[in-house]
Structure 1
Amino acid sequence: MVTVKVWDPFVRFFHWALVFCFTVAWLSADEWQDLHELAGYTAAILVSCRVIWGFVGPRYARFTQFVHHPAKVLEYLKTMWSGHELRYIGHNPAGGLMVVVLLCSLALLTFTGWLGTDILWGESWVEEVHESVANLLLILVLLHLSGVVLASLRHRESLIKAMLTGRKRGPGHADIE
């Protein structure tokens, strides 16, 4: 089987490091403040680097490759619902939207964490916003995982393996690069 390089080493490192940071931050909240803050600051740095990489990185890392017009995302979701969506070599339109939503949510989460730690310490509204965004992110992560499983099953390829190796099955006649 012919494979193509899709996810570069930085994107793969970023992805798994962020999974680790979010998990550590979630598990350490209210228990180990120093560890929680370290995971949060590390996540903020990772998100900042990923945003930069979205403009200067290789083809499949760039926002221009996977951020689509809302109408295209809706059309893709309709075809997905009917079971006839096209396979994309990079992120599909729904996956691209999820990347943007996750990055924005993580930026908001780390910003409110920083505010509550350094600027507005003790302000209950900042802590409430921070916790609400963290809960929203957990839901988004579950949606992301569901999308990964669905796409993996529908297109008969492991997207988790692709995020580990950086490679996916090469394009066929109906695939979109």
Structure 2
Amino acid sequence: MHSNNRIYVWSKVTRLFHWGLVAAFITTLISAKFSNALLIHVSAGSTMGILLFLRIIWGFTGPKYSRFRNFDFNLKDLLYYFLNLFKDKKLYIGHNPAASWATFLLIILGIATTFSGWLLMGASEV
């Protein structure tokens, strides 16, 4: 028997972070196309940087499934996950091994992108 009961593992703060990051990311993509929208672009990019910085803090201080120590970074688990992606119906509460790695990479790449934007903006003002 299949239950339709939902189990919410993500806190409201985590959900707000995700949607704030989505909104800031989309805003940077759209505003990059318009030369007169630089202030909007920089503001949205800075918002992304701040949100990612706060996510790092939340990864050490937040609730159980938001904490980095509960992420599965084991390479054997990652390989097993991909090899059995369509066979095994193992359910994960929180991040599965692929999502753990993807989250880590997205945070690193997001911070690198934010810093490169800040550097380019600083270079253009010289």
User: Please, which of 11, 14, 18 is the counterpart of residue 17 of structure 2?
Assistant: 14
Distance in 1, Cα, partners of 2:93 & 2:121: 41
Could you say what secondary structure the match of 1:5 adopts?
Answer: coil
| 1:108 matched to 2:112 | yes
Aligned length: 121
CA-to-partner distance for each residue in 1:25-77, whole Å, 9 max, x for gaps? 01110411111000000000000000100011000100111242122111211
2:71 alignment counterpart: 66
| 1:39 matched to 2:44 | yes
Residues 135-146 of structure 1: matches in 2 within 5 Å? none
Amino acid at match of 1:83: K
Q: Which runs of 5+ in 1 are unaligned?
A: 124-177
Could you say what secondary structure the match of 2:84 adopts?
Answer: helix
| 1:83 matched to 2:107 | no
Amino acid at match of 1:92: N
Q: Which runs of 5+ in 2 are unaligned?
A: none
Work out which structure has the larger RCO, using CA pairs closer than 8 Å and 6 or more positions apart in sequence.
1
Could you say what secondary structure the match of 1:83 adopts?
Answer: coil
Residues 111-130 of structure 1: matches in 2 within 5 Å? 111-118=115-122, 120-121=123-124
Amino acid at match of 2:20: A
Q: CA deviation at 1:96?
A: 1.1
2:53 alignment counterpart: 48
Preserved CA contact (<8 Å) 1:76 1:85: no
CA-to-partner distance for each residue in 1:88-118, whole Å, 9 max, x for gaps? 0111111111111111110110010011112
Amino acid at match of 1:94: A
Distance in 2, Cα, partners of 1:67 & 1:36: 34
User: Please, which of 3, 13, 22 is the counterpart of residue 6 of structure 2?
Assistant: 3
Calculate the TM-score normalised by the size of structure 2.
0.88
Calculate the TM-score normalised by the size of structure 1.
0.64
Amino acid at match of 1:76: Y
Amino acid at match of 1:4: I
CA-to-partner distance for each residue in 1:128-151, whole Å, 9 max, x for gaps? xxxxxxxxxxxxxxxxxxxxxxxx
Distance 1:116 1:6, change over 3 A: same
